[in-house]
Amino acid sequence: MTVAAHAPARGLTGPDAARLLAEHGRNEVAADHRVPLWARVAAQLRDPLITVLLAAVALTLAIGDHPDAIVITLVIVINTSVGVVQEVRAESAVAALSRLSAPAARVVRDGVQRTVPSAEIVPGDVVALTEGDIVPADARLTEAAALLLDESMLTGESLPVTRSADPRAPGDDAVRAGTVVLRGRALAVVTATGADSALGRIAAMLRPRPEPTPLQRRLAGLGRVLAAVAVGLCALVFVLGLLRQQPPGEMGVTAISLAVAAVPESLPAVVTLALALGARRMAARHAVVRRLPAVETLGSVTVLATDKTGTLTEGRMVVERLWTPRSTATVTGLGYGPAGGIRIDGTTDGAVQGAADGAVNGTADIAVNSLLTAAALCNDAALRPPSGGDGQWGALGDPTEAALLTAAGKAGLDHRRLRETHPRVAETPFDSTRKRMSTVHRTPHGGLLACLKGAPETVLDPTVLADPPELLERARRAAAALAAEGYRVLAVAEQDLDRLPEPPEEAEHGLRLLGLTALADPPKPSAAATLATCRRAGILPVLITGDHPATARALAVRVGLLEPGAGPEVVVNGQAIATGAVSDLTRARIFARTDPRQKLDIVQAWRARGAVTAMTGDGVNDGPALRQADIGVAMGLRGTEVARQAADLVLADDELATVVGAVEEGRRVYDNIRRFLVFGLSGGAAEILVMLAGPLFGLALPLRAGQILWINLLTHGLTGVAMGAEPVSPGAMTRPPRPPHQHILGSGVWQRVLLLGLVVAAASLGAGLWAHDAERPWQTVLFLALLAAQLGTVLGLRERLLTRANLFLPLAVLASAALAAAALYLPFLRDVLDTAPLSWSDLAAPAAAGLAGFAAARLRKQGI
């Protein structure tokens, strides 16, 4: 709820705060409604294939086949249980990540500053903000001193922004929930909390996504087809049997058994196993899968929309280039740690060697030393050595100033010693109007040194600098060139003083230019390789950021997302989207200065073109787009709670490369599902062909109902499920994604099903006819041949025939073969299945059928 902002010195009273809390509610963004267990189970059972299996249970119970009914029921129970357990575990993992956020804030109540839970802050509260605090609610500043905020989680803008309580700067006195105080202190009156805050308004754009995933759409279509086929087969086989004057009861049982066999009832188990294994592998690679279908969906992604800060970049400012009137230099190394150095461009060895006292040799080196010394003195930040097990250096204060300290350290300068030998005696803080900061220091020799840094447009001015006009012009051209490359440029100057200026602003005249520093949030070392892998896999990467277009373009070129000579039309800014100036959002590759609504528009534009979209993000501003995309990927470490709750996949290591691993896992899952369908449906087709064609060759009733169900149990049971654990195909990441609307049996799969079905049926019938003519137990030979041919097919379909990556599959085939033998040689099973024992010579025909199935599968093993 929004209120008028006023800041009484004593703040709210305790009773007033309690009344307002009851009136406006807790300062929380409503989390996703927790789904009850029964609803999760019901959602799993609504799957079309599960519906078919429920019908199959009813049919098998109707014919008295209780063992098969139990097996099918077990498949349904396992599938449902794994899906529900995975969802619950994922929610628990995300909840654990959400506990990393700060839960408390400081407020003034009854004239005393106290710490209260952020959820209990109300409109009208006076909030005290200091360095490192998370702003707990929307508020208006009443007091502010050198206040610098990181708003990247809310706006996507990587550079910090200044805020002041100056009434002459409308809008600069507003601070918003979820932003972080990098420097300074402030008092602010809360104006909006919970759902009425900026964070809450973005969260309100999050709506449950009703559309099913690509895999769910494909399996739903297949389920409908299989259901129709099952019903049709029941009727066809029953009618043909009656026409051949077979007993109606026996034909009814046979028709139902064949219909059950035609449906690969272990498909849901195969899908669930494949997805669960993918989710487990992703967890080992620092990802949390919130919904199992998300793993496969990544395998179908055609467009990857990635944000910039913290995803493609380090999320830390780094000085990369230096310019002085005498030379230019390159700074190496990432983060705030001391690793790296400074190379003077054009020298032979290129290394700046720092002496113990921080001095460096050579004219060019002295210029760089002076530049970085002044930058380190005119600085309020501090570096924090590694304190945990990650070995990462941290920073306190403005990231830009921390980057300057880091660069100074790489030149051999010790900023702590500099501050001890050059104590600060006066300062003029940075503000958004002047865009510069100056400090005055006492030198070791008793003199005074003024240091200044700021935006080039405010420093490279004759009223500030005493340098010749031609030098200022050279510096302006250099600053413009660096800015065009996407750098944030700061100019640094100094002068010696005879006396302490009064007021301190007087020190900002007559200075000497030392040079320019060019800072950037550098790309992660893995970014370019990750995007290259995406392109090889046929995935189009696009960049969506709140940063300046020039900054976004420069990064895109550095990581290979854009060619250096790409035209201006590939970069679009949010204002152009808002005004409708861009007719086709899918033509652009870089989107800069975007707000949450525009991110949503971009994702919707790609989806309208039929693309399967993945969206990565970490900020509150990314939440709506994460929810709208086919799959949302949130950063677990840097990400906000809103982003994590909106996502399907949470990356615990914040690495985009993990997404590429998930894409590979998704393609493995999809390949294994299609491989199983080739196996299962070709076997079902073969059984149908045997039952329909057998009578034409004199085999009155080729197979009995029990024999059909036993074959179905052994092939679609452990053997079929084991196919879901097959390793990834070697070429999985060098082929384009599946077309979004391609049927799961498309791209030649159904033709292959028919071809294998014909081969298996022909080989099996051949074995049965040979046995019939030789007056052997032909029905048992046909039964065993049909089973052997399908087991040969499953081995032939392996992408890597002799791999040890999935020993479960050959072991399952051996177990199925043993159970097939048991059906012939164990008296109990022999009586139930109406089989007869076979001699060694009788086994030759089924063995030949198995080899035929294996050979047919190996001839065209590609194309799954």
In the chain, domain spans: 1-219, 266-285+667-864, 297-313+525-654, 318-520
> What is the dotted CATH code of the domain comprising 318-520?
3.40.1110.10
- C-alpha angle 65-61-790 in degrees, rounded to nearest 5: 50
Determine which one of 65, 307, 595, 630 is catalytic: 307
Compute CA distances 239 → 65, 248, 740, whole Å: 22, 9, 40
Q: Write out the H or E segment, with its range, that includes residue 176.
A: none
Could you tell me the fold of the domain covering 297-313+525-654?
Rossmann fold (3.40.50)
Q: Strand, coil or helix: what is 97? A: helix
Average pLDDT across each block of 10 residues of the chain; the chain has 864 residues. List them in order.
48 88 80 68 71 70 69 69 63 48 75 85 90 84 84 69 74 81 86 81 58 67 73 77 76 66 66 76 80 78 89 88 92 87 64 37 75 95 78 82 94 91 91 85 94 95 94 94 90 94 90 95 90 93 88 90 84 88 91 86 91 85 82 82 79 86 86 88 88 84 79 81 86 85 79 93 96 93 96 93 88 94 91 88 95 90 54
CATH architecture entry for 1-219: Distorted Sandwich (2.70)
CA 638 to chain CA centroid, Å, is: 13
Backbone angles phi, psi at 419, to 5 degrees: -70, -30
Specify which residues 393 forms β-bridges with.
none
CB 139 within 8 A of CB 127: yes
State the DSSP code for 70.
H
Backbone angles phi, psi at 430, to 5 degrees: -70, 140
Q: Encoding tokens for residue 153?
A: 């989680």
CB 192 within 8 A of CB 137: yes
CB 436 within 8 A of CB 452: yes
Q: Write out the H or E segment, with its range, that includes residue 160.
A: none
Which residues fall within 8 angstroms of residue 756, CB to CB, at 6 or more apart? 678, 682, 685, 686, 793, 853, 856, 857
Torsion over CA: 211, 214, 217, 223 (sign): negative
Could you tell me the fold of the domain covering 266-285+667-864?
Calcium-transporting ATPase, transmembrane domain (1.20.1110)
Backbone angles phi, psi at 197, to 5 degrees: -80, 170
pTM > 0.85: no
Which amino acid does the sequence have at 608? A
Closest alpha carbon to 74 in 272, 240, 214: 272
Q: Write out the H or E segment, with its range, that includes residue 1.
A: none
Question: Is 307 a catalytic site residue?
Answer: yes
What length does the chain have? Answer: 864
Compute CA distances 133 → 125, 777, 819, whole Å: 16, 83, 67
How far apart are alpha carbons 702 and 710 in whole angstroms?
A: 14
- pLDDT for res 482: 92
Whose tokens are 């028919």? That residue is 754
Radius of gyration of the chain (CA): 35
How far apart are alpha carbons 159 and 157 in whole angstroms?
A: 6
Which residues fall within 8 angstroms of residue 296, CB to CB, at 6 or more apart? 213, 214, 215, 274, 275, 278, 666, 669, 670, 673
Whose tokens are 């400090």? That residue is 439
For the chain, the distance separating the N- and C-terminal CA atoms, rounded to the nearest angstrom, is 56
